[in-house]
């Protein structure tokens, strides 16, 4: 294994790798990120390798397994280079046809291409698909190009050149000033300036100093950090080594949650390879700087992502927060100065070092520079990972990139910032997404979860969902958070059950005030955000639940029941609803369609989802809570008589 002792060695190796790659003019790139794996991407990549070998094409065609491309919903994704033809949903059985027609025949197979719903045209290249076209992919760009388990692939795209430059040409102080000039703000939640945190850690007395990657990512629906660690772990590692040099740290930790086995595996491979190439260890690039990294496997609690809790966990204690009278940058791990940054924050560093602070400042808004990765999920046509410049509007993310709301439904809101963020309504779609703007309207950037909601989402129930999540995830150490969340949950439970009382909204607001003021950590202090934002923007919905015992979205189980419209139920009836029902609550009426036995129905909504759009026979009917178990007079008894 060659130890890279000078930047010239690195450059030579890069040229060598690029030359070796060029020997194969065609590359089949298969996304084997976790999303595509779920669709069978591993078998697909194996299949391509076998088919290419069996046909004796191995000298001309290479197969590369990459990390997440972002458009996970359409996986498995295959890109055929150098033409960049992007195939979606390809399966093992399609391999011989793809080899025959595309690899050997130079023909594109239309049915695997993206069909643009606007133009009705098939799109050949990924960059032309609207989902990708409106993004600015910098951190995610290399995910598509490299095998995450190959340091050579990373070196081929310029990897470790920033580290070589920093260690051989820049002083730690100059690196620090460059990060400060770039105004890189932390991507893990609060948007704290990374350079300021680095400087505090550097100036704090005490050795050794530590640097930590926060890869806990506990927000429901978020997977940006996972995809970076799975798809391009060397970029995070390179950023961390550069940071350690600037700060004067000699040891680092990558904290990865238990539920991310692939991210952990790839991060460990990256560490081992970097060590083998002399990029970790003693006297890196002959600079005299020595540094090494360990992985810490987190136990998978949302609160463990909080900085002090995470450090407790690394030290071997329970991952619970402590008061932060003294910042972790001064007294962190084992009481020593520790700089903790999010995965995405670290991944930005090599780019800033290579391209300069001015380049970085050229993207984004006045207060928030660069790009941000979001996981765009929920009721949106194109879900997946998107990287956009700070300052893009919510409308552009949801409609231009996300393709809007499916099934002709109306957009209702978008939750940003995970459980600590808020739901923003349609009137704020033109808001420019950055740290400060989101904060002003009662939400936050958080780590980048973005959940789109349509007209069928109940906002009271949404608030209840997040409060329930947080009540379970609260460490329970402080009373305002532990009891505040439990009381909030009780109130939201009763409102969604149709038992809300006058004054409940005000009570929720009062609880929110106390929690924000008195909770020990930011979990409790930000926990009221989903409640506050839904009251602020969707108050009428709370009032309808409390005063009219009605859920306007038709989502709260206690306030609706499902019925089958006999006129719409097909003749002969298709029975999709009955097959979907797990509790046998749907029965066939002699000579007619199906009906729901209300006393058996558990209101799971499976029949509603299963009924084909062309019939739309299952409907939601408002019902007052006291009535919901009583069979409907008239229709139901008439139908029962016919069974
Ligand atoms: C309850 C809670 C959970 C958090 N979870 C994460 C997380 O999963 N990942 C993360 O990077 N930051 C998380 N944070 C924020 C961290 O405390 C810390 O501010 C952040 O990792 C600092 O990195 P940054 O400055 O690069 O954003 C969490 C904070 C709280 C209060
Ligand atoms: S996992 Fe393949 S596109 Fe995300």
CB 347 near ligand 2, within 6 Å:
no
For residue 524, the ligand closest to its alpha carbon is 1
**Ligand 2 centroid distance, CA of 96 (Å):** 23
The 10s digit of each residue's pLDDT in 513-557 is 999 999 999 999 999 999 999 999 999 999 999 999 999 999 999
**Ligand 2 centroid distance, CA of 370 (Å):** 23
Q: Please name the residue whose Cα sits nearest to atom 2 of ligand 1.
A: 306
**Ligand 1 centroid distance, CA of 156 (Å):** 32
> Among 404, 393, 38, 450, which Cα is nearest to 222's?
450
Cis peptide bond prior to 572, omega within 30° of 0: yes
For residue 148, the ligand closest to its alpha carbon is 2
For residue 446, the ligand closest to its alpha carbon is 1
Q: What is the pLDDT of residue 346?
A: 98
Q: What is the pLDDT of residue 82?
A: 93
Q: What is the pLDDT of residue 625?
A: 65
Q: Is the pLDDT of residue 295 over 80?
A: yes
User: Taking the chain, what is the end-to-end CA distance rounded to the nearest angstrom?
Assistant: 78
The 10s digit of each residue's pLDDT in 182-213 is 999 999 988 999 999 999 999 999 999 999 99
Residue 92 and residue 72: Cα distance in Å, rounded? 18
**Averaged pLDDT for residues 313-334:** 94
In percent, the amount of the chain with pLDDT more than 90 equals 90
Show the tokens assigned to 608: 């509603």
Q: What is the pLDDT of residue 643?
A: 42
**Averaged pLDDT for residues 89-96:** 97
CB 176 near ligand 2, within 6 Å:
no
CB 70 near ligand 2, within 6 Å:
yes
Show the tokens assigned to 277: 């190439």
For residue 42, the ligand closest to its alpha carbon is 2
Contacts 24+ apart (CB under 8 A), 313-317: 313/255, 314/212, 314/253, 314/255
**Ligand 2 centroid distance, CA of 263 (Å):** 14
Q: What is the pLDDT of residue 627?
A: 56
> Among 63, 76, 74, 86, which Cα is nearest to 37's?
76
The 10s digit of each residue's pLDDT in 387-415 is 999 999 999 999 999 999 998 999 999 99
Q: What is the pLDDT of residue 631?
A: 44
Report the phi/psi class of residue 621: left, alpha or beta, with left for phi > 0 and alpha for psi in -120 to 50. beta
**Ligand 1 centroid distance, CA of 192 (Å):** 10
**Averaged pLDDT for residues 332-356:** 98
Q: How many CB atoms lie within 10 A of CB 260?
A: 23
The mean of the pLDDT values for the chain is 94
CB 71 near ligand 2, within 6 Å:
yes
What residues does ligand 1 touch, defined as CB less than 6 Å away?
Answer: 186-190, 192, 214, 216-218, 302-303, 305-307, 340-342, 345, 447, 521-523
Backbone dihedral angles phi then psi of residue 79, each to the nearest 5 degrees: -120, 130
> Among 191, 244, 184, which Cα is nearest to 213's?
244
| pLDDT band for position 630 (cuts 50, 70, 90) | very low
CB contact burial 437-473 (16+ within 10 A = b; e otherwise): bbbebbbbbbbbbbbbbbbbbbbbbbbbbbbbbbbeb
**Ligand 1 centroid distance, CA of 214 (Å):** 7
CB 33 near ligand 2, within 6 Å:
yes
The 10s digit of each residue's pLDDT in 224-258 is 999 999 999 999 999 999 999 999 999 999 999 99
With a threshold of 0.85, does the pTM exceed it? yes
3-state secondary structure of 374: strand
CB 69 near ligand 2, within 6 Å:
yes
Q: What is the pLDDT of residue 5?
A: 86
Q: Is the pLDDT of residue 300 over 80?
A: no
Report the phi/psi class of residue 269: left, alpha or beta, with left for phi > 0 and alpha for psi in -120 to 50. alpha
CB 72 near ligand 2, within 6 Å:
yes
For residue 324, the ligand closest to its alpha carbon is 1
**Ligand 2 centroid distance, CA of 247 (Å):** 35
* Secondary-structure breakdown of the chain: helix, strand, coil percentages, each rounded to the nearest 5: 45, 15, 40
Residue 462 and residue 532: Cα distance in Å, rounded? 12
The 10s digit of each residue's pLDDT in 34-79 is 999 999 999 999 999 999 999 999 999 999 999 999 999 999 999 9
């Amino acid at each position: 294994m060659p130890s890279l002792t000078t930047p010239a060695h690195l450059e030579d190796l890069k040229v060598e790798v690029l030359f070796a790659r060029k020997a194969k003019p065609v590359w089949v790139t298969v996304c084997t990120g976790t999303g595509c794996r779920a669709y069978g991407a591993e078998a697909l990549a194996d299949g391509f390798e076998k088919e290419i070998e069996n046909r004796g094409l191995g000298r001309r065609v290479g197969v590369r397994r990459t990390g997440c491309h972002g458009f996970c919903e359409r996986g498995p994704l295959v890109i055929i280079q150098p033409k960049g033809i992007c195939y979606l949903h390809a399966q093992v059985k399609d391999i011989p046809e793809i080899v025959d027609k595309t690899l050997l025949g130079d023909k594109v197979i239309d049915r695997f291409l993206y069909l643009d719903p606007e133009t009705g045209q098939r799109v050949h290249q990924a960059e032309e698909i609207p989902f990708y076209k409106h993004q600015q992919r910098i951190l995610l760009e290399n995910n598509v190009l490299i095998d995450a388990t190959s340091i050579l692939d990373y070196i081929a795209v310029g990897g470790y050149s920033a580290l070589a430059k920093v260690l051989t040409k820049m002083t730690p102080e100059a690196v620090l000033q460059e990060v400060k000039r770039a105004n890189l703000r932390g991507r893990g939640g609060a948007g704290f300036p990374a350079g300021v945190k680095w400087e505090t850690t550097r100036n704090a007395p005490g050795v050794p100093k530590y640097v930590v990657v926060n890869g806990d990512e506990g927000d429901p629906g978020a997977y940006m950090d996972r995809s970076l660690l799975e798809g391009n772990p060397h970029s995070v590692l390179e950023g961390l080594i550069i940071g350690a040099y600037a700060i004067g740290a000699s040891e680092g930790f990558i904290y990865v949650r238990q539920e991310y086995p692939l991210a952990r595996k790839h991060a460990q491979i990256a560490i081992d390879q970097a060590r083998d190439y002399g990029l970790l260890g003693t006297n890196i690039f002959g600079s005299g700087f020595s540094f090494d990294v360990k992985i810490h496997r987190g136990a998978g609690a949302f609160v463990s992502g909080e900085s002090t809790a995470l450090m407790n966990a690394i030290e071997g204690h329970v991952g619970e927060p402590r008061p932060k009278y003294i910042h972790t940058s001064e007294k962190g791990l084992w009481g020593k100065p520790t700089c903790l940054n999010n995965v995405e924050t670290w991944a930005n560093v090599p780019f800033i070092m290579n391209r300069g602070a001015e380049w970085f400042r050229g993207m984004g808004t006045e207060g928030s520079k660069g790009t941000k990765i979001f996981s765009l999920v929920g009721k949106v046509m194109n879900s997946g990972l998107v990287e956009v410049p700070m300052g893009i509007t919510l409308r552009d993310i949801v409609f231009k990139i996300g393709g809007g709301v499916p099934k002709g439904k109306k957009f209702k809101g978008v939750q940003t910032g995970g459980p600590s963020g808020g739901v923003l309504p349609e009137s704020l779609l033109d808001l420019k997404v950055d740290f400060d703007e989101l904060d002003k309207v009662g939400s936050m950037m958080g780590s980048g979860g973005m959940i789109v909601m349509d007209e069928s989402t109940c906002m009271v129930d949404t608030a209840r969902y997040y409060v329930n999540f947080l009540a379970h995830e609260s460490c329970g150490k402080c009373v305002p958070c532990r009891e505040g969340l439990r009381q909030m949950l009780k109130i939201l439970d009763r409102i969604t059950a149709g038992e809300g009382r006058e004054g409940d909204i005000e009570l929720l607001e009062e609880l929110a005030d106390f929690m924000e003021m008195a909770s020990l950590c930011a979990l409790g202090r930000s926990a009221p955000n989903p409640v506050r934002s839904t009251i602020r923007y969707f108050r009428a919905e709370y009032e309808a639940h409390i005063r009219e015992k009605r859920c306007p979205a038709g989502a709260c189980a206690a306030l609706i029941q499902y019925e089958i419209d006999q006129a719409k139920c097909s003749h002969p009836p298709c029975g999709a609803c009955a097959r979907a029902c797990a509790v046998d609550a749907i029965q066939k009426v002699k000579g007619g369609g199906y009906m729901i036995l209300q006393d058996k129905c558990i209101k799971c909504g499976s029949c509603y989802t299963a009924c084909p759009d062309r019939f739309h026979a299952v409907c939601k009917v408002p019902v007052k809570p006291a009535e919901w178990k009583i069979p409907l007079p008239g229709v139901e008894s008439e139908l029962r008589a016919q069974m």
